[in-house]
Amino acid sequence: MDYHLLHIVTLLTVIAFGGEIRKTTEACNSDDLQGLIGFKNGIPTDTSGRLAKWIGQNCCEWEGIVCENAYRVIQINLPGLISTDTDFYQTQMVGQLSPSITLLTSLEILDLGGLVGLSGTIPQTLGLQLTKLKKLYLYGNNLTGSIPESIGELQNLQELALHENKLSGPIPSSIGQMQALEKLDLSSNLLSGCIPSSLTNLTAISVLYMNTNYLEGTIPFPSRYGEMPSLAFLRLHDNYLSGTVPLNFGYLVSLQRVSLSNNKLEGPLPSSLGNLLSLSELYLSFNFLSGQIPKSIGQLSQLIMLNISNNLIEGPLPQEMSSLQNLQTLDLSFNPLNLTAIPEWLPNLSSLSMIYFAGCGIEGRIPDFLKTIHSSIQELDLSGNLLSGSIPSWIGSLTQLYLLNLSSNSLDSLIPDSISNLHDLGVLDLHSNRLTGSITGAFGIGQGNFGGSLTYIDLSDNNFSRGVEEIGVGGQFNIQFLNLSHNLLKGTLPSSLGRLSYIQSLDLSYNDLASNLPEVLANLSSLEKLKLQKNHFIGNIPNGFLNLRNLKELNLSDNFLEGEIPDGKPLIDFPGSSYSGNKGLCGKPLSPCKTMISIKL
Ligand SMILES: *[C@@H]1O[C@H](CO)[C@@H](O)[C@H](O)[C@H]1NC(C)=O
Ligand SMILES: *[C@@H]1O[C@H](CO)[C@@H](O)[C@H](O)[C@H]1NC(C)=O
Ligand SMILES: *[C@@H]1O[C@H](CO)[C@@H](O)[C@H](O)[C@H]1NC(C)=O
Ligand SMILES: *[C@@H]1O[C@H](CO)[C@@H](O)[C@H](O)[C@H]1NC(C)=O
Ligand SMILES: *[C@@H]1O[C@H](CO)[C@@H](O)[C@H](O)[C@H]1NC(C)=O
Ligand SMILES: *[C@@H]1O[C@H](CO)[C@@H](O)[C@H](O)[C@H]1NC(C)=O
Ligand SMILES: *[C@@H]1O[C@H](CO)[C@@H](O)[C@H](O)[C@H]1NC(C)=O
Ligand SMILES: *[C@@H]1O[C@H](CO)[C@@H](O)[C@H](O)[C@H]1NC(C)=O
Ligand SMILES: *[C@@H]1O[C@H](CO)[C@@H](O)[C@H](O)[C@H]1NC(C)=O
Ligand SMILES: *[C@@H]1O[C@H](CO)[C@@H](O)[C@H](O)[C@H]1NC(C)=O
């Protein structure tokens, strides 16, 4: 649009809306203009280039500005993340948020979200001056200082997003006066003190996020039925909140997702929880909650995720839980549940796919009824229990399995061959059991259908004795983490090890391996940790090890290696104890070689 056309449009707009009488159609309201110029002057660097185009007097035409009647500025839309038709890009404004922003007294929307380089404080008088504000987005900035008490004057404010800043001090209790407030996000700041009890007066609130701060004291709401009737999303996790989950918590009948994890909450879960019929996700882990899970939990027919891990919850589990037909994830790990056995009604949970019962005092064999779970189990964690006997071969029929963690039990079988049927298995942790035989079961060796989905294998601290020669043979390998340490593995390292191209951590320490260090180890360029100590390796350290540029941890100690340590990074930067206890290693970081050089020539 050329300049004259714009001019005409402006004129027409003024005529059409019969706007206020003004000296010139080219200028916006002088307070607004002054406020915006002050804002721009606070920001020396703007990588988006938007402010550079703010010239002249007619601020209503500036990028990011919306006016009413081509005169009063009602919106400032300058988010850091800019989206075009085709993509998104992140921009920066480096500078201070100018208090002159408070001159824009007709503002309804102020969006300066995601401008990480924007620092300064929220102007103290903002709430007294920008009384028409409906949306205030100052999240993702570098703002410091406290939230001004005046904020409570914003009677029209519907959305207040101040998350991801460095705001400190208490949450002003005046916030409870904001009758229109629907979304309040103060998460990820440095806020301290108590949650103001005035929040119970927020009749329109639907989203309330105050997680990841330094808040303490009790959860003050609800005090009676009917308060916060629309509250659906509540996040208070990662604070220092104490006291109990309020007895009347069940009055917040619109709740859908609640996270109270990682606080200091104690006492029993109130049975009023059962009134939260819309609840779909409940996160309570890492608190000091005690007592039994209330029977009323069975009424939560919409519940998808229940995470109570790391509390002081006692058994037994109420049978009513068996009616949670939508439950997909159940994490009860690390509670003094003394379950003794996995409850027999577990297969009745027809949607269950992630089962975390670590450290729940489960004894005996892995029960066969688990195989009858209708749904497809994707994650099964029974680690840290007292399980004995074998890993059942029906495990191979859980075809959706992605994670299997049976570590720290007393299982004493072989790895069943059927494990190689698990095409989607990504994480296999069987460490600290009494498993025997060959490790190759874990790799699906010899099975034509092995797809290389495994990225994490921990078989350490068992009694495996065979199979090392077959690592990397057949199939395709995406393993990033492999720990076979503390076993009874014998034999030689195969050159097929070189096919584990993505491996970052390889631990074969504390075994009976006896061979040269194969040259192909030097091909594993992603390797960050290599632990081969306490074996019977012989020969020299291959020169190729100098190619292991990403290596941060190396231990070759207590073997029978000899000769010069290849002279260069990263090898010379490791401590002497990475090489000690060998037959005859020399050179940096150990003492210099004497006659070795001539031998090599
Ligand atoms: C945040 O502000 C502080 C000073 O208040 C400054 O030192 C720091 O560099 C700023 N951080 C960013 C990301 O701009
Ligand atoms: C809630 O609002 C009422 C009426 O405005 C007021 O009397 C009361 O003190 C407020 N409650 C809290 C806890 O601030
Ligand atoms: C349960 O919550 C804890 C803490 O937030 C988390 O580490 C764990 O992964 C969660 N469990 C599941 C199954 O998501
Ligand atoms: C749970 O088991 C532990 C260890 O076996 C025992 O010390 C404790 O008394 C048991 N607690 C209950 C409530 O049965
Ligand atoms: C679980 O399901 C079985 C078979 O459908 C049924 O007989 C049993 O009563 C159910 N158990 C519970 C606790 O709901
Ligand atoms: C298996 O569970 C134990 C806790 O019992 C945990 O320490 C370990 O990290 C888990 N393994 C994986 C791969 O998540
Ligand atoms: C492993 O086997 C050795 C004998 O080779 C035995 O002494 C030891 O108790 C076994 N360890 C476990 C955890 O079963
Ligand atoms: C491998 O497992 C052993 C024993 O379980 C453990 O001590 C060691 O830290 C693990 N290695 C790596 C690299 O995680
Ligand atoms: C190791 O790398 C060399 C050179 O890139 C290559 O010729 C050789 O085939 C690789 N060995 C294996 C086992 O991948
Ligand atoms: C290497 O392993 C030995 C034996 O386990 C240990 O004493 C030493 O501290 C380790 N050194 C490094 C650098 O990890």
Using the atom order of ligand 4, give the atom closest to the CA of residue 314.
Answer: 13
Residue nearest to atom 10 of ligand 7 (CA): 463
Query: Given this model, what pLDDT does residue 441 score?
Result: 76
Name the pLDDT band for 598 (thresholds 50, 70, 90): low
- Report pLDDT digits (tens) over 380-400: 999 999 999 999 999 999 989
Dist CA 236 CA 279 (whole Å): 16
Query: Given this model, what pLDDT does residue 440 score?
Result: 85
Average pLDDT taken over every residue of the chain = 92
- Mutate which of 553, 578, 582, 585 for ligand 10? The one with the most ligand atoms within 8 Å of its CB, which is 578
Is the confidence at residue 24, as pLDDT, over 60? no
Q: What is the Å distance from ligand 1's center to 358 Cα?
A: 42
Is the confidence at residue 345, as pLDDT, over 90? yes
The structure tokens listed for 377 are 């189990």
Strand segments (E) across 47-187:
65-68, 72-77, 81-83, 88-90, 93-96, 109-111, 118-121, 135-137, 142-144, 159-161, 168-169, 183-185
Query: Given this model, what pLDDT does residue 420 score?
Result: 84
Q: Determine the average pLDDT of the residues in 58-66.
A: 95
User: Which are the contacts of 49, defined by CB distance < 8 A and separation ≥ 6?
Assistant: none
Is the confidence at residue 449, as pLDDT, over 50? no
The structure tokens listed for 218 are 């009790």
- CA dihedral of 569, 570, 571, 573, whole degrees rounded to 10: 90
Q: What is the DSSP letter of 362?
A: B
Q: Determine the average pLDDT of the residues in 479-495.
A: 95
Q: Determine the average pLDDT of the residues in 468-484.
A: 87
Query: Given this model, what pLDDT does residue 141 score?
Result: 95
Using the atom order of ligand 9, give the atom closest to the CA of residue 472.
Answer: 13
Dist CA 149 CA 160 (whole Å): 14
Is the confidence at residue 28, as pLDDT, over 70? yes
pTM recorded for the entire structure: 0.90
Prior bond to 148 cis, omega within 30?
no
Task: Give the CA angle between residues 88, 93, 96 to the nearest 5°.
Answer: 150
Using the atom order of ligand 1, give the atom closest to the CA of residue 142.
Answer: 1
The helix (run of H) or strand (run of E) holding residue 259 is strand 257-259
Name the pLDDT band for 465 (thresholds 50, 70, 90): very high
The structure tokens listed for 146 are 């406290």
Tell me if 344 sits within 8 A of 321, measured CB to CB.
no
Query: Given this model, what pLDDT does residue 451 score?
Result: 53
- Report pLDDT digits (tens) over 132-157: 999 999 999 999 999 999 999 999 99
Q: What is the Å distance from ligand 9's center to 523 Cα?
A: 6
Residue 301: alpha-carbon gap to chain centroid = 27
Is the confidence at residue 6, as pLDDT, over 50? no
Query: Given this model, what pLDDT does residue 27 score?
Result: 83
Q: Which ligand is nearest to the CA of 495?
A: 9
Q: Determine the average pLDDT of the residues in 64-92.
A: 93
Question: How many Cβ atoms are within 10 Å of 384's Cβ, its own excluded?
Answer: 20
Amino acid at site 330 = L
Q: Determine the average pLDDT of the residues in 66-94.
A: 93
Query: Is beta strand 281-283 parallel, antiparallel or unpaired with respect to 305-307?
Result: parallel
Name the pLDDT band for 473 (thresholds 50, 70, 90): confident
Residue 271 DSSP SS3: helix
Residue nearest to atom 14 of ligand 4 (CA): 338
Query: Given this model, what pLDDT does residue 554 score?
Result: 98
Q: Which ligand is nearest to the CA of 339?
A: 4
Residue 394 DSSP SS3: helix
**Residue predicted with more confidence, 450 or 321:** 321
Is the confidence at residue 14, as pLDDT, over 60? no
- Mutate which of 301, 319, 346, 348 for ligand 5? The one with the most ligand atoms within 8 Å of its CB, which is 348
Tell me if 431 sits within 8 A of 439, measured CB to CB.
no
Percent of the chain with pLDDT strictly greater than 90 = 85
- Residue 20, judged by CB atoms within 10 A of its CB (0-12, 13-18, 19+), counts as exposed
The helix (run of H) or strand (run of E) holding residue 36 is helix 30-41
Q: What is the Å distance from ligand 5's center to 349 Cα?
A: 10
Name the pLDDT band for 492 (thresholds 50, 70, 90): very high
- Report pLDDT digits (tens) over 183-236: 999 999 999 999 999 999 999 999 999 999 999 999 999 999 999 999 999 999
- Report pLDDT digits (tens) over 521-532: 999 999 999 999
Tell me if 328 sits within 8 A of 304, measured CB to CB.
yes
Tell me if 154 sits within 8 A of 135, measured CB to CB.
no
Question: How many Cβ atoms are within 10 Å of 476's Cβ, its own excluded?
Answer: 10
Is the confidence at residue 25, as pLDDT, over 70? no
State the residue for tokens 């929220």. Answer: 122
Residue 415 DSSP SS3: coil
Dist CA 234 CA 236 (whole Å): 7
Percent of the chain with pLDDT strictly greater than 70 = 93
Tell me if 279 sits within 8 A of 303, measured CB to CB.
yes
Is the confidence at residue 7, as pLDDT, over 80? no
In Å, the largest CA–CA distance within the chain is: 99
**CA-based nearest residue to 161, from 202, 197, 116, 110:** 110
Name the pLDDT band for 4 (thresholds 50, 70, 90): low
Dist CA 90 CA 413 (whole Å): 54
Dist CA 601 CA 596 (whole Å): 9
Dist CA 291 CA 313 (whole Å): 5
User: Which are the contacts of 500, defined by CB distance < 8 A and separation ≥ 6?
Assistant: 471, 472, 477, 479, 482, 506, 524
Domains and CATH numbers, the chain: 218-314 (3.80.10.10)
Query: Is beta strand 88-90 parallel, antiparallel or unpaired with respect to 81-83?
Result: antiparallel
Dist CA 395 CA 365 (whole Å): 13
The structure tokens listed for 526 are 């992603």
Residue 559: alpha-carbon gap to chain centroid = 40
